[in-house]
């Protein structure tokens, strides 16, 4: 299985590390199944996005530098979070652009992107016999362009849909609003809680209207927010990170 | 200082109404989607429009002077106004010159921005907004909640009640056609009496000196043709070099705004009718300050189509008035801080940074990136709310040290697992107001990895 003599640095964002270890495990196992040489730098913390999105990017510089230091020795950095990857690629522009910084920014990938664009996997032989609603996390969708935003008049593509297309038993449900934001938005969820929760409720309702058993996404942060609402309101629908679904792969 | 979160909370108190507002605007977004998808070249048009605007802004003085030259040759009076006060006085001077007291006005966000109506009213002049939506909110004495659909926050029943009081329509009547007819009859009177007509400007064509006004109700034409003096008010960013460029923008404006192929009326005003007077007032009011800031300069490309509002999931659920600025929504949130950072420091945060606005924008303004940049400006100017600033300093400290980070994570998870519910869910826990916190796992991924993978790479 080892097509690639490359090293992969696994970046597990702070909130996944602390609250959703199963997502990190699924990502790691999947990459290992694909025969890749995966390393996990134990001293990693966060990409620095929470500070930066609050307007404090200068305070985040140390965190950025730490990230670069932890990951600069790998050929690729892979993470189950579109938002953090987008942050590293887009917003590490305030660091001095050393070779190391440039390399890390260019070689950091969101999991689905990495599977499709770098590994070029075709059929992962996923087995997940459920109705699944896809939540297109905004930073992955419009930032990393892992899908086509519904606003654009270009050829439609969606990496999540492509990866799940051949999955056994899995049915993707159509939504009324295919890519509306869930309202998490990092600090937005704390400083604008009412709008944030309302947006989340509306998203959950859309998935439920179409009988989704699971809501999946490239970002656990969106799912953490949606799950918080689902549990508060005792809704039947569940959340599952895309890595967990992909990790049902047989190969 | 504007507190968007608080205003939004008030708006959201009536959830049914919020849903209705959200749906009404989403419907407009869908109409826009259908319209733009009929043009396979849409993305190319956006790029062209953006480039025309960019090139024009980079030589703005040149194009404005050319416009002035042409307009003067056409027999038009051209005035320049530095700020809102200058502008208001300029309008008043023209009105006074003609001893006029009755003015009709078609839609203009610039006159809203400069608070022209109250200024003229104080001077004893009657100003009647002739755009139906504008007239409605003028009756209600409130600002527009949307730049294209100024009364979108109101239901037809509310308008029925309002017209019953103001125009004597039947009590309880809310049929839109009936109400519109009543408004038309009322406005016709006003058009016939008006001595001066004021309009906004969508585009000013430098090579011809013409101003172009796009409306759906034809009210700009009614006003201009009936009155003996016409005044067109434009921000400096409205100029475009050539008539040919206009074709790009008129194809995009209505499609983006309402999903129509083109606005019902696209009126070109080139020169005054013999015996009448035509004035154009070119207004800066802070725009050159934006022009000086490269990271925010693109915001001046805006053609005021309102599409970013219709698509914005926050705007749809908080209403235009929650922004407290003349122009609400995503574009308002990047324009307002440029005019008064302290007053509008909240607005760049009134977004989840989903980026839908930037994708929908016909002139490709990088709205969500500018929101991010404005956040940095707010923080650099030490205008962040105190709670936010302290929290971020503490977080930055923790996250730049691996062992501190792991320790804090561990404590948080333990507390979450062990503390009684009411100690976790209290008014300090903003997250918990409408959401559960995640269920704390026994170990972090980091701990799991140390236990389960031997050949740890550091
Ligand atoms: S910013 Fe773009 S989308 Fe928003 S009103 Fe202006 S032109 Fe339209």
* CATH class belonging to A131-246: alpha beta
Cβ distance of A14 and B453 shorter than 8 Å = no
User: Where along chain A do its domains lie?
Assistant: 7-118, 131-246
Task: Tell whether B318 is covered by a domain.
Answer: yes
Residue A1 pLDDT > 50: no
CB neighbours of residue B269 within 10 Å: 23
Structural domain contains residue B167: yes
Its ipTM equals 0.96
Does residue B10 belong to any structural domain of this protein? no
Q: Output the pTM of the full model.
A: 0.96
Residues 6+ apart with CB under 8 A from B399: A14, A45, A46, A48, A50, A51, A63, B405
Do B339 and B401 lie in one domain? The reply is no
Q: Domain check: are B350 and B400 in the same one?
A: no
Give the length of chain B.
Answer: 458
If you average pLDDT over every residue of chain B, what do you get? Answer: 96
Residue B276 has pLDDT above 70, yes or no: yes
B78 shares its domain with B163: yes
Residue B427, CA distances (Å) to A195, B417, B422, B430, B456 in order: 17, 19, 10, 7, 42
Whole-number Å distance between alpha carbons of B6 and B1: 12
Domains in chain B: how many in total? 3
Query: Does one domain contain both B353 and B407?
Result: no
Picking from B226, B257, B285, the residue at the C-terminal end of a domain is: B285
One domain for residues B341 and B438: no
Tens digit of each residue's pLDDT (9 = 90 or more) over B209-232? 999 999 999 999 999 999 999 999
Helix (H, G, I), strand (E, B) or coil at B218: coil
Q: Does residue B80 lie within any of the structural domains?
A: yes
* In a shared domain, residues B364 and B415: no
* Residue A112 to chain B, least CA–CA distance (Å): 19
Q: Quick one: pLDDT at residue B428?
A: 84
> Per-residue confidence at A250, pLDDT binned at 50, 70, 90?
confident
B57 shares its domain with B112: yes
For ligand 1, residues with CB inside 6 Å are B 256, 302-308, 331, 360-363, 365, 367
- Residue A168 backbone dihedrals phi, psi, to 5 degrees: -75, 125
Chain A stretch 24-43, residues whose beta carbon is closer than 8 A to a beta carbon of chain B = 24-25, 28, 39-43
Q: Which residues contact B173 (CB under 8 A, 6 or more apart)?
A: B160, B163, B164, B179
Classify residue B20: in a domain, yes or no.
Answer: no
- CB atoms A228 and B5 under 8 Å: no
Would you tell me how many other CB atoms lie within 10 Å of the CB of residue A162?
16
Task: Give the C-alpha separation, A79 to A111, whole Å.
Answer: 6
Nearest-angstrom CA–CA distance, A122 and A189: 37
Q: Which residue has the tokens 């049929």?
A: B175
Say whether both B232 and B173 belong to one domain.
yes
Strand B239-240: give its sheet, edge to edge: B239-240, B203-205, B210-215, B265-269
- By most ligand atoms within 8 Å of CB, the mutation choice from B237, B312, B320, B363 for ligand 1 is B363
**Mean pLDDT computed over every residue of chain A:** 96
Same domain, B262 and B376: no
Q: Which residues 6+ apart lie within 8 Å of A66 measured at CB?
A: A43, A44, A45, B400, B402
Domain boundary residue, one of B239, B257, B285: B285
Q: Which atom of ligand 1 is nearest to the CA of B306?
A: 5
Distance in Å, alpha carbon of A208 to nearest chain B alpha carbon: 17
Band of residue B446 on the pLDDT scale cut at 50, 70, 90: very high
Q: Which of B260, B285, B310 is the last residue of a domain?
A: B285
**Matching fold, domains A7-118 and A131-246:** yes
Q: Is B125 on the interface with A (CB under 8 A)?
A: no
pLDDT recorded at residue B192: 96
CB < 8 Å to B386, chain A: none
Give, for ligand 1, the residue of B28, B52, B308, B356 to mutate: max count of ligand atoms closer than 8 Å to Cβ: B308
CATH no. for A7-118:
3.40.50
pLDDT digits (tens, 9 = 90+) for B353-411: 999 999 999 999 999 999 999 999 999 999 998 888 888 999 999 999 999 999 999 99
Beta bridge partners of B229: B196, B277
Per-residue confidence (pLDDT) for residue B458, from 0 to 100: 47
Residue B191 sits in which domain range?
39-285
Within an 8 Å CB–CB cutoff, is residue A93 touching chain B?
Answer: no
Q: Do B118 and B243 belong to one domain?
A: yes
| Shared-domain flag, residues B240 and B112 | yes
Return d(Cα A115, Cα B449) in angstroms, integer: 22
Per the DSSP assignment, residues forming a β-bridge with A130 are: none
Q: Which of B30, B435, B450 to mutate to probe the A interface, most A CBs <10 Å? A: B435
């Amino acid at each position: 299985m080892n097509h690639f003599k490359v090293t992969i640095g696994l970046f597990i964002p702070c909130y996944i590390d602390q609250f959703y270890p199963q997502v990190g495990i699924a990502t790691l196992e999947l990459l290992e199944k694909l025969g890749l040489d995966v390393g996990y730098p134990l001293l990693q913390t966060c990409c620095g996005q929470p500070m930066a999105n609050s307007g404090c990017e200068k305070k985040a510089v140390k965190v950025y530098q730490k990230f670069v230091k932890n990951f600069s020795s790998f050929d690729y950095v892979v993470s189950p979070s579109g938002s953090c990857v987008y942050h590293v690629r887009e917003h590490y522009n305030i660091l001095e652009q050393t070779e190391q910084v440039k390399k890390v920014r260019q070689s950091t990938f969101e999991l689905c992107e990495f599977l499709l664009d770098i590994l070029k996997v075709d059929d992962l032989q996923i087995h997940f016999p459920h109705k699944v609603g896809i939540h297109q996390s905004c930073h992955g969708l419009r930032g990393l362009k892992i899908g086509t935003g519904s606003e654009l008049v270009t050829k439609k593509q969606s990496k999540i849909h492509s990866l799940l297309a051949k999955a056994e038993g899995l049915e993707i449900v159509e939504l009324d609003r295919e890519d509306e934001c869930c309202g998490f938005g990092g600090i937005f969820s704390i400083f604008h809680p009412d709008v944030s929760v309302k947006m989340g409720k509306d998203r959950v309702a859309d998935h439920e209207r179409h009988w989704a058993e699971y809501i999946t996404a490239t970002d656990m942060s969106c799912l953490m927010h949606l799950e918080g609402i689902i549990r508060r309101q005792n809704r039947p629908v569940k959340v599952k990170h895309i890595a967990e679904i992909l990790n049902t792969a047989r190969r | 200082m504007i507190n968007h979160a608080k205003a939004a909370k008030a708006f959201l108190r009536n959830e049914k109404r919020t849903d209705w507002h959200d749906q009404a605007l989403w419907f407009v977004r869908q109409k826009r989607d259908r319209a733009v998808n009929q043009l396979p070249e849409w993305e190319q048009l956006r790029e062209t429009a953006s480039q025309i605007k960019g090139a024009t802004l980079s030589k703005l003085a040149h194009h404005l002077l050319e416009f002035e030259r042409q307009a003067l040759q056409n027999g038009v009076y051209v005035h320049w106004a530095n700020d809102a006060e200058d502008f208001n006085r300029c309008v008043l001077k023209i009105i006074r010159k003609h001893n006029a007291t009755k003015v009709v006005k078609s839609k203009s966000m610039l006159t809203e921005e400069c608070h022209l109506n109250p200024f003229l009213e104080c001077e004893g002049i009657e100003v009647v907004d002739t755009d139906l939506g504008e007239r409605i909110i003028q009756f209600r004495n409130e600002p527009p909640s949307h730049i294209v659909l100024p009364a979108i926050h109101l239901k037809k029943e509310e308008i029925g009640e309002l017209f019953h009081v103001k125009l004597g329509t039947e009590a309880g009547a809310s049929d839109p056609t009936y109400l519109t007819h009543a408004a038309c009859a009322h406005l016709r009177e006003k058009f016939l009496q008006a001595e001066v007509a004021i309009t906004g400007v969508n585009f000013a064509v430098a090579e011809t000196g013409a101003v172009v006004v796009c409306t759906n109700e034809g009210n700009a034409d009614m006003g201009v043709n009936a009155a003996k003096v016409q005044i067109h008010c434009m921000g400096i960013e409205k100029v475009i070099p050539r008539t040919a460029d206009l074709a790009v923008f008129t194809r995009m404006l209505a499609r983006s705004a309402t999903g129509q192929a083109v606005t019902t009326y696209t009126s070109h005003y080139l020169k005054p009718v013999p015996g009448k007077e035509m004035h154009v007032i070119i207004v800066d009011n802070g725009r050159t300050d934006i022009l000086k800031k490269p990271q925010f300069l693109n915001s001046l490309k805006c053609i005021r189509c309102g599409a970013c509002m219709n698509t914005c999931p926050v705007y749809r659920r908080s209403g235009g008035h929650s922004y407290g600025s003349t122009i609400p929504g995503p574009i308002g949130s990047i324009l307002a801080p440029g005019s008064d950072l302290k007053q509008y420091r909240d607005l760049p945060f009134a977004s989840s940074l989903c980026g839908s606005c930037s994708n929908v924008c016909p002139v490709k303004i990088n709205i969500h990136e500018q929101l991010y940049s404005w956040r940095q400006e707010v923080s650099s100017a030490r205008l962040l709310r105190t709670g936010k600033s302290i929290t971020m300093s503490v977080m930055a400290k923790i996250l730049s040290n691996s062992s501190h980070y792991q320790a804090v994570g561990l404590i948080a998870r333990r507390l979450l697992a062990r503390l009684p519910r009411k100690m976790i869910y209290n008014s300090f826990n903003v997250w918990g107001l409408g959401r559960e916190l995640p269920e704390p796992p026994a170990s972090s991924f980091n701990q799991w990895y140390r236990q389960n993978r031997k050949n740890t790479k550091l």
